[in-house]
Amino acid sequence: MARSKDRPWLMRTYAGHSTAEASNELYRRNLAKGQTGLSVAFDLPTQTGYDPDHVLARGEVGRVGVPVSHLGDMRRLFQDIPLDRMNTSMTINATAMWLLALYQVVAEEQGADLGKLSGTTQNDIIKEYLSRGTYVFPPGPSLRLTTDTIAYTVASVPKWNPINICSYHLQEAGATPVQEIAYAMSTAIAVLDAVRDSGQVPAGKMGDVVARISFFVNAGVRFVEEMCKMRAFTRIWDQVTRERYGITDARQRRFRYGVQVNSLGLTEAQPENNVQRIVLEMLAVTLSKDARARAVQLPAWNEALGLPRPWDQQWSLRIQQVLAHESDLLEYEDIFAGSTVIEAKVAGLVDEVLAEMDHIEELGGAVAAVESGYLKAQLVASHAERRARIESGEEKIVGVNSYTETEPSPLTADLDTAIMTVDPATEHRVVSALHDWRLQRDEERAQRALSALKSAAAGTANLMEPTLECARAGVTTGEWSWALRDVFGEFRAPTGVSSAPVSTGGEEGSSLASVRAKVSRTAEDLGAGRLRLLVGKPGLDGHSNGAEQIAVRARDAGFEVVYQGIRLTPEQIVSAAVAEDVHCVGLSILSGSHAELVPDVLARLRRAGVDDIPVVVGGIIPSADAKVLVEAGVAAVFTPKDFGITEIIGRIVDEIRQANKLDPLEVSA
């Protein structure tokens, strides 16, 4: 007799690139291959509220996701995909209300019943201040946008998840399992408190609000710890919703989460090893029935090299399908129930998490802990500690700091074809189409809609209805965002660099002591009090983890570090380099916009008469692009294979010496 099986989780791939038309074709192809939900990746201008013709959007359009500038783009993105029969996840935060409005209007145009729309807008702005960097507005107004979206959807789009409390990027920014749970739960409390206190949802409806809160988590390679983390998550969520919000219905208290396994843990060195990492990380969130993910999306084996191709994404989808349909996983109850080892680990995590949540509460809650810089400093410090363990060999990464001997890989024999590339001409076509859209719309209606939005933002009304009218009137993503910027202002989050403790000892004989001696000697040779390093992040890439770790280690090595955070124009970076009289400029770019932005920085340095300052670049940069950058004048290019941060700092000192015509220096600690 055949055993009954549980339904598999939703299977997604995180996808979107180039244009709405190209992404629509990719989505329909993935659905035909058996994918059961969509996960939309938007490009950085869309995520940060800029139209593709804005100066900060240059080089970023269509790079890490699909550009959606207005209703016409959203129509094309979902053409021939019936939204009332689709579960769509949208990774969008600062502009989440806007993208949901566009999605709803397209669904209405398809004749869909809003009561049948299902999916998720990520919409967790707090973690953006800590890790991913796609915030726009200050915390207070950002929380209002989230609150308004939740109140609207609970009443009008009842199957929609208006927020994913997102701990995923916290782990990538260095969070331990305790920090990941504690910071996510504290964020959830801040959101639920704001909804409760807004008066927009009747007290009797708070159970409906809680039932629509979902989470998006990260699963790393430490399988047992990650699986226990998810069990601890479910236990704490049940406790918080029952005790703090009085939710008596166990179904409404259910911990509902989707997962993407760790992308930034994938390696450029021996990238074939990423496949087994992905499988092991997926098992952590699927084997335990009582803490199983509701949706899973897996990265591709080559994401540390560049943009995955459709075949690479298909491989990741097939990994999920083999587990769900060929194995017997879904035929059994929770296979970890009754394990004393698992129970002890879960109980320990719960105790530590609750203690950290209490501390955040004492600080005034998650928003206050962001504004004070506490949460960011904790993440930068824990990330620095992990990097130090990797560099010392205490924490082993196969193919990176251990077992590095390898046969030539057929997967990467031709690196130029091992990843997907975005046609540079795409940006021009998208900008041209945007200008055509503005010319063809009813301009008077668009301006009326924007005026009404600003008036509502200046008051206390829910902003979803005026946002929907903006969508219908042909307003663009940048116009919607700038209207709210005019009312709310913008925000620059604390970097956490200055307050991060020293994570790597500089004991006599250590590599850091040797580099510190080189820094001191070079400063002396140049007649400078200290060497000065500018760490800059041009463009819209908000993944600042690498830049922060370089800044912290350079500081510990004796540099004076100038780091102003994310989202700077090349002009701002060069102005800072000149004003601070720095000895080196280090640029960090993970979004693929290096080909456009780095040459711009070099050209501006030349025009400013300071082209003797060496420029080094770090990020996810294909080898062919790295060669072009060096030919253009970049002194050195560092990619994920260069994991030794202290060695990188030493290389930077060497480049400073060479640029200033000083003899090479070998200094022993």
Q: What is the DSSP string of 115-140?
A: GG-EEEE----HHIIIII----S-HH
**Which one has a higher pLDDT value, 265 or 618?**
618
Annotated catalytic residue, options 541, 556, 600, 625: 541
Annotated catalytic residue, options 169, 345, 518, 594: 169
Question: What CATH number belongs to 511-660?
Answer: 3.40.50.280
Residue pLDDT, tens place only, 165-198: 999 989 988 899 999 999 999 999 999 999 999 9
Determine how many CB atoms are found less than 10 A away from the CB of residue 93. 28
205 among known catalytic residues: no
Domain-wise residue ranges, the chain: 10-84+93-121+425-493, 122-406, 511-660
Helices (H) and strands (E) in the chain, counts: 25, 15
Residue pLDDT, tens place only, 415-437: 777 887 778 889 999 999 999 99
Annotated catalytic residue, options 543, 556, 600, 625: 543
383 among known catalytic residues: no
- Cα gap 29→118, rounded to integer Å: 21
Annotated catalytic residue, options 17, 383, 537, 583: 537
345 among known catalytic residues: no
Quickly tell me which residue has 């408190």 as its tokens.
193
Residue 1: what pLDDT?
44
**Structure-token pair, residue 363:** 């600080």
What's the mean pLDDT in 565-577?
A: 93
For domain 122-406, the CATH architecture is Alpha-Beta Barrel (3.20)
Residue pLDDT, tens place only, 626-657: 999 999 999 999 998 888 999 999 999 999 99
169 among known catalytic residues: yes
With bands split at pLDDT 50, 70 and 90, how would you rate the model's confidence at 3?
Answer: low
Residue pLDDT, tens place only, 471-512: 999 999 999 999 999 999 998 877 767 666 665 566 777 889
Quickly tell me which residue has 């029952």 as its tokens.
242
- Cα gap 92→136, rounded to integer Å: 12
70 among known catalytic residues: no
403 among known catalytic residues: no
Annotated catalytic residue, options 27, 50, 152, 168: 168
Q: Is the pLDDT of residue 669 over 50?
A: no
Please list, in sequence order, all residues whose beta carbon lies within 8 angstroms of the beta carbon of residue 619, skipping any fewer than 6 positions away: 541, 546, 588, 589, 590, 594, 639
Residue of 210, 305, 217, 200 whose CA lies nearest to 254 = 210
